Amino acid sequence: MLSQTLEPPKILVSLDTNNTATGQCDCDGGDCACDLSPVVALPSEIKSSPAMFDKFVRVPNSQIMNLDDSYSICYGSHHQLAVLNKSALNLLANFTNPHNLKDIALDYPDIEFITLQQAIQKLSQARLIIPENYSWQLNEIPDTLTAWLHITDRCNLRCDYCYLPHLPTDMSPDIGKAAIESTFRSATLNNYRRVRLKYAGGEALLCPTLIQHLHLYAQYLSQETDIALDGIVLSNGTLITPEIVEMLQKLNLRLMISLDGLSHFHDSQRCYASGKGSFSDVERGIKTALQNGLTPDISVTVSGRNAAGLPALMAWILEYNLPFSLNFYRENELSANYQDLHLEESQIIEGMLAAFKVIESQLPHRSLLGSLIDRANLSSPHKRTCGVGQSYLVFNDKGQIAKCQMQLHKTVSSIDNPDPLNVIRQDKAGIQNLSVEEKEGCRTCEWKYWCTGGCPLATFKATGRYDIQSPNCNIYKALYPEAVRLEGLRLIKYS
């Protein structure tokens, strides 16, 4: 039953779970700004090296896709993606029934013992094999508490999918400081190791002095509490100057810029209040950031209107080697009248696959597993699409706290509460961010721990339910295999 091939097993694993592109920076200045689920704990048995007599068995629900004559990719949302040569694939097949290293070594006399041990260890680290009798379970461990600070409602643009009324109101410095204090308070009480602040609007860079003031205070609190701090400014990119870049760098703030296409594809959904397109100013802003040593994350909102322009945009993004994320448009009360923004399935799939073709011809060094398809993260299993209701606070300019920025008006707590996160977690009236295991249609899906069923708000808007699969399910299912294939090709290219 076993192969006697002399070729050593080769296993290329997607361990770039940091994926610091937009997957983990989890933001988007336009339509959505999502937060990934808490980090998932691996059972300690799987982390350790396989001992001589430990029996391992292949994880269920794993699939294999051929990439070329030499390599295949193993995928399944219970484990990490791994590219295997024929010998490694053969080795994996042996674990259909429980085997230990000693059994395997007897069957591969021509391969060095240490080589076999390392290969089995890699299979185990990728969770393609798990200890015999181990019952698979996913634990959610809170790691980062994210706070969205809506520092202004003002904006110089009038994007068609924006969910804000653009009132002439800014957050005051006192409210901002109290919001940051309450974030660190909840982070301390709930044992978070990191706080992530998102400075958002409106256009956040209309208030650079406020950002500076608030983030210096956040840095002070981070030191006082010994909780790590991460900060990002969400911007439309039109107001970037060398001075702004210098300020962001001094404060160690990241920058996320929304860009939805080249020229008219961007302008068609992101224009100034005057109606003039913003592309040329955003392009200038991105180049200014790059020329001054700051690499912005690019957030693309994919809609029916710009899907055809995705390939050209992708070529541009890859040319500048920019981290990016492709996020799907979510309808809101203010955008519902724009029928052409809607995600028509075949149109979106066609545009996305054409963009993937461009990526295939210019495979980047960084993993794209967390940034290619809306809110899905294919880098590691998780249960929830975002941190809403769990690890996420959204402060409006008055210091009231909502669960999601797209429901800024539905506040459930405030800066005065001793532990606002606890109130958010207890709230049963507003948006419910269920585990994928609670969603009808998702429970038996092969993609469930990567996809997690999509944005709960979008699902509720389309179906009136939270406990059901995403209205974009067909789009996701058409794209996931291609994303897996791209990652496999990328791993081979840079192995």
Q: Which residues pair with 229 in a beta bridge?
A: 195
- Start-to-end C-alpha separation, the chain: 29
Q: Which is nearer to ligand SF4, 388 or 492 (CB)?
A: 388
Indicate which single residue of 175, 442, 484, 489 sits in contact with ligand SF4 (rule: CB under 6 A): 442
Q: How many residues bind ligand SF4 (CB under 6 A)?
A: 27
476 makes contact with ligand SF4 (CB under 6 A): yes
The one segment of 198-206, 244-252, 275-283, 448-456 that binds ligand SF4 by CB under 6 A: 448-456
37 makes contact with ligand SF4 (CB under 6 A): no
What is d(CA 434, CA 485) in angstroms, rounded to the nearest whole number? 29
**Largest alpha-carbon pair distance within the chain?**
75
Tokens of 216: 């210096």
Q: Which is nearer to ligand SF4, 146 or 306 (CB)?
A: 146
Q: Which is nearer to ligand SF4, 101 or 232 (CB)?
A: 232
27 makes contact with ligand SF4 (CB under 6 A): no
Q: What is the DSSP pairing of strand 71-75 with strand 11-13?
A: unpaired
What is d(CA 81, CA 72) in angstroms, rounded to the nearest whole number? 11
Indicate which single residue of 13, 36, 155, 386 sits in contact with ligand SF4 (rule: CB under 6 A): 386
CB of 155 to ligand SF4, least distance (A): 18
CB of 188 to ligand SF4, least distance (A): 23
454 makes contact with ligand SF4 (CB under 6 A): yes
Angle CA 171–174–175, to nearest 5: 50
375 makes contact with ligand SF4 (CB under 6 A): yes
Indicate which single residue of 229, 317, 406, 486 sits in contact with ligand SF4 (rule: CB under 6 A): 406
Q: Which is nearer to ligand SF4, 72 or 385 (CB)?
A: 385
Indicate which single residue of 166, 270, 382, 448 sits in contact with ligand SF4 (rule: CB under 6 A): 448
Indicate which single residue of 385, 391, 396, 413 sits in contact with ligand SF4 (rule: CB under 6 A): 385
Residues 493 and 83: beta-carbon distance below 8 Å: no
Q: Which is nearer to ligand SF4, 408 or 486 (CB)?
A: 408
456 makes contact with ligand SF4 (CB under 6 A): yes
Q: Which of 329, 245, 336, 333 has its CA nearest to residue 290?
A: 245
Q: Which residues pair with 414 in a beta bridge?
A: 400
CB of 468 to ligand SF4, least distance (A): 9
Name residues contacting ligand SF4, limited to 242-301 (CB under 6 A). none
Indicate which single residue of 205, 451, 484, 491 sits in contact with ligand SF4 (rule: CB under 6 A): 451
Name residues contacting ligand SF4, limited to 149-188 (CB under 6 A). none
435 makes contact with ligand SF4 (CB under 6 A): no
Q: Which residues bind ligand SF4 (CB under 6 A)?
A: 32, 34, 330, 375, 385-386, 388, 404, 406, 431, 436, 441-442, 445, 447-448, 451, 453-457, 469-470, 473, 476-477
